[in-house]
Amino acid sequence: MKFCPRCATPLIQRLDGGRDRPACPAPGCGFIHFGDFSIGVGGVVIRQNRVLLIRRGHEPGRGWWQLPGGYAEHDEPLVTAVEREILEEAGIRANVVEVLGFRHSVGGQGSIGGPSTNVYVAFRLEPDSSSEPSHDQDEITGAEFFDIDVLNAHERVQNLTKWAVGWALSGARGLQPAPRTQDPTRPPWSLFHV
């Protein structure tokens, strides 16, 4: 990123918050680039002691099995994102029960050469129907419910997936969605608690 996304002025480096950051020098603009961030979501969906997995059709990880999931949109609550991704990738409607945990990773290159960061939130969901999984044969080349023993023995199932499934089945309680009231004066938000 070389130009301000708000006013198109060339960015400069400015000390802010203890480090140099790309910032807009235009009077009244105030834009500061704090880095590139993304939030991913994935869902453990269990039906009759079998876990829903999808097989990746694209790199990275083409051919590997994992939880259905993907990126949350910038204006989308995480609960909505994970339910949408499971439906899009595996054709299964499911509802969030709890947050199992999250992974934070820093690495790769952001849009202006600095590091990017990703937070991935793993949820447990309950399917709301007995429909069979389906997939698009492009981004996703397989979608099916796996027996736990088969999943754990499978060499091409991601470790994060194995951890999330194990945690969901352990009986440990995850973070529960807090009830909230709809407030049209505030943007959508989510709160999870013990």
Q: Where are the domains of the chain?
A: 1-34, 36-181
List Cβ neighbours of 48 (8 Å cut-off, separation of 6 or more).
145
1-34: CATH topology is Ubiquitin Ligase Nedd4; Chain: W; (2.20.70)
pTM for the model stands at 0.85
Tens digit of pLDDT for each residue in 125-155?
999 988 899 999 999 999 999 999 999 999 9
Alpha-carbon gap, residue 81 to 72, rounded angstroms:
5
- Tell me which of 3.40.50.620, 3.40.50.170, 3.50.50.60, 3.90.79.10 is the CATH number of domain 36-181: 3.90.79.10
pLDDT tens-digit profile of 39-79? 999 999 999 999 999 999 999 899 999 999 999 998 899 99
Q: Specify the 3-state DSSP secondary structure of 77.
A: coil
Burial 167-185 (b: 16+ CB within 10 A, else e): bbeeeeebbebeeeeeeee
Q: Under a CB-based contact definition with an 8 Å cutoff, are residues 126 and 174 in contact?
A: no
Per-residue confidence (pLDDT) for residue 136, from 0 to 100: 93
